[in-house]
Chain A
Amino acid sequence: MKKYLLFIIVISFLFIAAACGSNSSSSDEPTQLVISTWGYNEDLERKNIIEPFEEEHNVEIILDTGNNSDRLNRVRLDSSQIDIIYLSDYFAMQAIEEGLFETIDRSNVPNIEDMYEILQAPLGEEYGPAYTVGMFGLAYDTAAAETPVTSWGDLWRDEFSNRLAMPEITTTSGPMVVDFAAKQAGADPFDADLAFEKLQELSPNVLRFYGGSADLVNMFSQGEIIIGPTMDFAFDGIVDAVPTAELIIPDEGAYAYMNTINIVKGTENKELAEKFINWALSEELQTQNAIDGLNSPGNTLVELTEEQAEGLLYDSDVIESLIVLDWELVNNELEAWTDRWNREIVE
């Protein structure tokens, strides 16, 4: 009897030990690198970006995917051992203010020199560069709209009632929505009260507020919606499903976002992470990604044919015309805006 008793106790303790213990690894096993990204085009990302790097450096890359805010929160919680994180400039700035990022030694990332100047240090010299600039414009189905859409204000048209999706405030584009709503309300300079009043008018027409671009593409392809403000990278998916869809730059202008790569504080693989960033900026990879339509090239050495450049931000005039939000103002107001958004707009 005593034997059984002992057995049960030993098993229980073994169980606890196993739950708390850490696994050891031998030296020629590949290093693990956890990379946090959107996972929007995961199959292409694996083929172009991840697999070549894994082979060259004997690394096993684990992807952590999700939208900006959720992934940033996982870094805040410090629970997932993330080494490298892709974030839009807006969220990367929040992370830097909270001290979540490691500084970068630029001499280890020589490819930075080849990038467009605005991408080289969007968050300061110490932190990660941006690898692409993108545009937040307006997508709609030209076959379903009565007259062509030319302005952000066209979102308020009655014909789009219940056929319209808008981004949530907690996405990178949320504050851009607040900005164009203020302009539609005639607020100059920016006035949050007027913006929210204007959005409240729109709210009953909105079928759904989406938290990630995949949701938007899904709604377009299911025929639920015919119009919605969107990031350019998601437009490929939309036009695949709805061939008559078009992405326009509204008269008031489209907005710019930059996607950055940063190293998370506490990583044990800083050197490898810097190598990865250098690879992400390289002419070779940026060209391949541009040809596959994964993202617009940020490397100035990339040369594309007209056909390859279609759907990408490749024209420097367009890039320069994009509106860049004052992220510092946004960061200060975000909490108040989120609260108002939840109460006044969504519910």
Chain B
Amino acid sequence: MNKKYFYLLLLPCFLFLLIFMVIPILVTTLSSFYLDGRITLEGYRSFLTDHYFLNILFRTLRISLLTTTICIILGFPVAYYVSKLNVKLKFIFIAAAVFPLLISPVVRSFSWMAILGREGIFNTLLKKIGIINEPIQFLYTELAIVIGLVHLFLPLMIIALIGVMENIDYDLVKAAQSLGASRFTSFIKIVFPLSVPGLVVGSVLVFVGSLTAYTTPQLLGGSRRVMSTLLYQQSLTLNNWYTASIIATIMIVATFIIIGIMNKIAQKLNPKG
């Protein structure tokens, strides 16, 4: 192959992304700086000094961070276990982890409604056992959103971690142990730092997914708005595209900031990674 023209392989995908992603994002972002025929930051000033909007922004960030943390805590041990299995078992476990991804988020949210509702499985169970007399309100709370999102994104975290953990050379662990390191020390000093790249990829996927998720907060969060449902209301219900562009831009910027922070943390944990 002539190296000179090799880059042309990128052309179809490049054009696709340019037309359907880069240009629309630029237009959206730029329009948020333009009001009444002049360039201004006024929209951002009023958004970021408004308690109503800030509440929603912080709620969204809180939910996304909580979801990411829970996914790490639940996903890390699973990924570690699965990565050490033989090929056949590993395939079964990975398939089991991926399986929920095949079901639409709408269906999954509805199933959580059946589980978390007033007369849902969970409340009925608690009542039967006698722990509670009156049903607890799970549905239409932030907790319900977090539960739904963890269920939605945990597979991504597990898969990202398995991919990296599989490639860890366990001779390193044996070497450390032969030099006197305990199992715990060798895990903390070797396995964990070497898994950090997977942790970063997984966390970014989960965080960005949670930040932008629409169906789950809409169905499980009731009237508790997050950025994506606010964006929907402003654009499609209220026809307020200016505020909608500001919300979209803030979501993009927040995503980049969080990815930046995660990369910084990753560098601290695994300086050579």
Contacts and interface: CB of A to CB of B under 8 A. Distances in A.
A70 interface: yes
Given A1-B5, A209-B223, A347-B52, A73 B117 contact: no
A254 B19 CA distance: 52
Nearest to B137: A162
Contact of A9 (B11, B235, B236): B11
24 contacts: A1-B1, A1-B2, A5-B8, A8-B8, A8-B12, A9-B11, A11-B12, A12-B12, A12-B15, A19-B19, A69-B237, A74-B236, A162-B137, A206-B223, A209-B223, A211-B237, A222-B117, A222-B120, A223-B117, A224-B117, A224-B140, A346-B223, A347-B52, A347-B225
Contacts of B15: 12, 15-16
A208 B223 contact: yes
A224 B118 contact: yes
A57 interface: no
Interface string B114-133: 10011110000000000000
Nearest to A224: B118
Q: A-B pairs with the 6 shortest C-beta distances?
A: A208-B222, A223-B119, A209-B223, A12-B12, A69-B237, A343-B52
B150 to A, nearest CB: 22
A170 interface: yes
A342 B118 CA distance: 26
Given A12-B12, A73-B235, 8 more contacts: A69-B236, A76-B239, A208-B223, A209-B223, A222-B113, A222-B117, A224-B118, A347-B52
A338 interface: yes
A1 B8 CA distance: 12
Interface in A215-273: 222-224
A208 B114 CA distance: 16
Nearest to A67: B237
Place the interface of chain B in its size category.
Answer: 20 to 34
Interface centre among A11, A69, A224 (most CB of B within 10 A): A224
B223 A9 contact: no
B9 interface: yes
Contacts of B223: 206, 208-209, 346
B246 to A, nearest CB: 15
Given A8-B12, A222-B119, A347-B225, A170 B52 contact: no
B55 A347 contact: yes
A207 B140 CA distance: 8
Interface string A1-26: 10001001101100110010000000
A8 B225 contact: no
A223 B113 CA distance: 11
B73 interface: no
Interface of A: 1, 5, 8-9, 11-12, 15-16, 19, 69-70, 73-74, 76, 162, 170, 206-209, 211, 222-224, 338, 342-343, 346-347
A209 B225 CA distance: 11
Contacts of A346: 223, 225
Contacts of B114: 222
Interface in B47-85: 52, 55-56
B238 interface: yes
B238 A338 contact: yes
A170 B140 contact: no
Contacts of B9: 8
Contacts of A9: 8, 11
Nearest to A68: B237
A20 to B, nearest CB: 10
A346 B2 CA distance: 63
Contacts of B52: 342-343, 347
Nearest to A166: B223
B139 interface: yes
A73 B239 contact: yes
A343 B55 CA distance: 10
A272 to B, nearest CB: 28
A28 B36 CA distance: 49
Contacts of A70: 236-237
Interface string B219-254: 000110100000001011111000000000000000
Contact of B139 (A8, A19, A74, A224): A224
